[in-house]
Amino acid sequence: MGVLPARPSAAANAGDSNRGGRRLGLSLPTSRGVAALAVAAVVAMSGASACATRAATGGTATGSPVSGLYEVNGHHLFLTCAGAGAPMVVLESGLGADHTQWDPVSQLAAAAGVRVCAYDRYGVGQSDTPPGMQTRTLDQVVDDVHALLGAAHLGGPYVLAGTSMGGLIDREFARRFPSEVVGMVLLDSAPDDWDVYTGTETFAFLTESIDVEAASAALRNSDQLGSRPLIVVQAGDDASVQAAWAEGKTDFQAYWASRQRALAQISSDSILALAPGVSHDTIAQEPPGLSSAAIRLVVDAARDGTSLPACAQTSLPGLGALCLSETG
């Protein structure tokens, strides 16, 4: 099967662009649940199951560029990769956001000797769009990315990087396939009790709707990275999250900060940092140097089999981050 033509992204069709400085992921409430928490992060695994038929140009986990559509579980998903080296980084975008959310980060990381891959989930960007809104579970999303990377012959292990809802997807991938994950970067990730706190189990934006209830419950019960390197970066400005999801909740700021601290505790080798003045909606893009530096730190630790350095000894403070805590 040859390379399939790219499609216009859902964001472009909706007249809202990630490139314009506003990240996709938050909207007004819908009949399926509250509007969307933008996230990103990524997950992957080789040897994928189901019907994953190659339908694009591609390479390996360490080498040539990849760009195109792959048939995965009955639909086509868009995948693009750049850079070289192992372990490979898989980028997971926020709800409703396509792969371009990561463009500035991907370019910097690839130039720094990191292999990075981003993709569009079913119903988003250049991937197939289902007829009408279809709610999918978090585990179905994980099944898709697992099969996608297998179809593209992109073997692990992987470093997962996600923002907002993408962080939940990454964590569920790591919970289900722990041997395939050697590190993680979470950028203002959605907490695993977000459904409980907001009173909704389904989150929807544009043509994407995800039911997080079962996977979130599993993560609350069992979610540990052991000693694998983890960097958690909390956005300094989460006003958009509160306005869309938690309006009227006076404990929101304390709640969100406590959940980011809890995320840093799922690994014994972690860094927790704050990005002052950076919005939840743009943390995967602005400043791109901060996100790419966090990714590079985790990749280097996983590559060398070493622990993360002390936060103050990294490049993060020089890029505007405040070191909050670290383990290891």
Q: E strands within the chain?
A: 34-35, 40-41, 52-53, 56-57, 66-72, 75-82, 88-92, 116-119, 135-137, 158-163, 181-187, 202-205, 208-211, 230-237, 270-279, 322-326
pLDDT tens figures, 281-316: 899 988 889 999 999 999 999 999 999 999 999 999
With a pLDDT cut of 90, the percent of the chain lying above it is 65
Q: CB-based burial of residue 114 (10 Å sphere; 0-12 exposed, 13-18 middle, 19+ buried)?
A: buried
Cβ of 77: how many Cβ atoms within 10 Å?
28
Query: For residues 72 and 152, what is the distance between their CA atoms, to the nearest angstrom?
Result: 10
Q: Which residues pair with 309 in a beta bridge?
A: none
Closest CA to 39 of 30, 50, 26, 29: 26
In angstroms, the CA 209 to CA 92 distance is 15
pLDDT score recorded for residue 60 = 55
Domains of the chain: 22-326 (3.40.50.1820)
Q: What is the pLDDT of residue 248?
A: 81
CA–CA distance, 205 with 120 (Å, rounded to integer): 14
pLDDT of 39-60, one tens digit each? 333 333 333 333 333 344 444 5
Tokens of 222: 């069992």
pLDDT at position 274 over 90: yes
pTM of the model: 0.83
Mean pLDDT within 168-192: 96
Name the token pair of 315. 């490049």
pLDDT confidence of 176, banded at 50, 70, 90?
Answer: very high
Q: How confident is the model at residue 33 (pLDDT cuts 50, 70, 90)?
A: very low
**Average pLDDT score over the chain:** 82
Dist. CA 52–CA 296, nearest whole Å = 30
Q: How far is CA 159 from CA 22, 195, 299, in A?
A: 26, 26, 7
* Contact yes or no for 168/39 (Cβ under 8 A): yes
Query: What is the pLDDT confidence band of residue 325, given thresholds at 50, 70 and 90?
Result: confident
Structure confidence at residue 196 (pLDDT):
95
DSSP string for 89-155 = EEEEPPTT--GGGGHHHHHHHHHTT--EEEE--TTSTTS---SS--EEEHHHHHHHHHHHHHHTT--
Q: Residue 52: what pLDDT?
A: 37
Distances (CA, A) of 307 to 271, 280, 299, 327: 11, 28, 11, 10
Residue 63 confidence (pLDDT) above 70: no
Report which DSSP code applies to 323.
Answer: E
CB 192 within 8 A of CB 216: yes
Give how far Cα 139 sits from Cα of 24, 174, 289, 309, Å: 22, 12, 31, 33
